[in-house]
């Protein structure tokens, strides 16, 4: 079975599509296969598997972690969501740029966003379940976020009045993050 690289964006972000076998019973796919990930230049060692469920209009993010550095391989297993990644690496030619992809249980796309990207999503269906593998164990002392609607980034979210956590409502701007010493963990 093959996993196809369908897009590369922002010097590190990758959109992949596993081969899907569908018939009257449903479908089968290999969401992760070490040899295929190696071939595509993706990480093969993940240390944590996360699963979230959110209602329509929920925006989560933009989240990131610097110690240990955490990359995320994100996919939607129920429903549909708009997955977003923002480059927050100092010195990167794409610093502050974003990319979004509509991912669903139906299209089975996956988004790889390495450490140095802030990630988030907006639920488009009545509810969605997002699963993501990470390359770093969660560390609440070294995680943070960027304001979902930071005007300097200008993400075109598919919602005007999102449902947000209290933490995401008051997140810092990218400019505020870049002024902090911890931002030096992400250099291009």
Q: Whose structure tokens read 């796309």?
A: 109
Q: Which candidate, 94, 118, 108, places its Cα nearest to that of 185?
A: 118
Using alpha carbons only, what angle is made at residue 95 by residues 111 and 165, rounded to the nearest 5 degrees?
60
Q: Whose structure tokens read 């269906």?
A: 125
Residue 132 bears catalytic tag: yes
Q: How far apart are CA 153 and CA 146, in angstroms?
A: 10
Q: Which of 32, 51, 132, 138 is catalytic?
A: 132
Tokens representing 134 are 């990470």
Burial class (CB in 10 A: 0-12, 13-18, 19+), 4: exposed
- Cα–Cα distance list, 171 to 24, 99, 140, 186 (Å): 46, 19, 15, 18
Q: Which of 32, 51, 63, 161 is catalytic?
A: 63
Tokens representing 33 are 């296969």
Residue 51 bears catalytic tag: no
Residues recognised as catalytic: 63, 132
């Amino acid at each position: 079975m093959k996993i196809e690289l369908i897009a590369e964006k922002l010097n590190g972000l990758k959109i992949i599509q596993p081969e899907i076998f569908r018939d009257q019973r449903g479908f089968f796919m290999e969401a992760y296969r070490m040899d295929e990930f190696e071939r595509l230049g993706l990480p093969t060692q993940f240390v944590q598997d996360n699963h979230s469920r959110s209602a329509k209009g929920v925006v989560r993010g933009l989240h990131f972690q610097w110690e240990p550095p955490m990359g995320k391989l994100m996919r939607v297993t129920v429903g549909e969501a708009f997955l977003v990644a923002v480059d927050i690496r100092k010195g990167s030619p794409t610093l502050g740029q974003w990319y979004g992809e509509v991912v669903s249980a139906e299209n089975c796309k996956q988004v790889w966003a390495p450490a140095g990207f802030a990630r988030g999503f907006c639920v488009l269906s009545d509810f969605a379940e997002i699963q993501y593998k990470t390359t770093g164990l969660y560390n609440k002392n070294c995680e943070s976020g960027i304001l979902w609607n930071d005007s300097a980034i200008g993400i075109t979210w598919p919602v005007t009045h999102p449902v947000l956590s209290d933490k995401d409502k008051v997140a810092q701007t990218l400019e505020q993050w870049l002024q902090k010493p911890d931002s030096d963990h992400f250099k291009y």
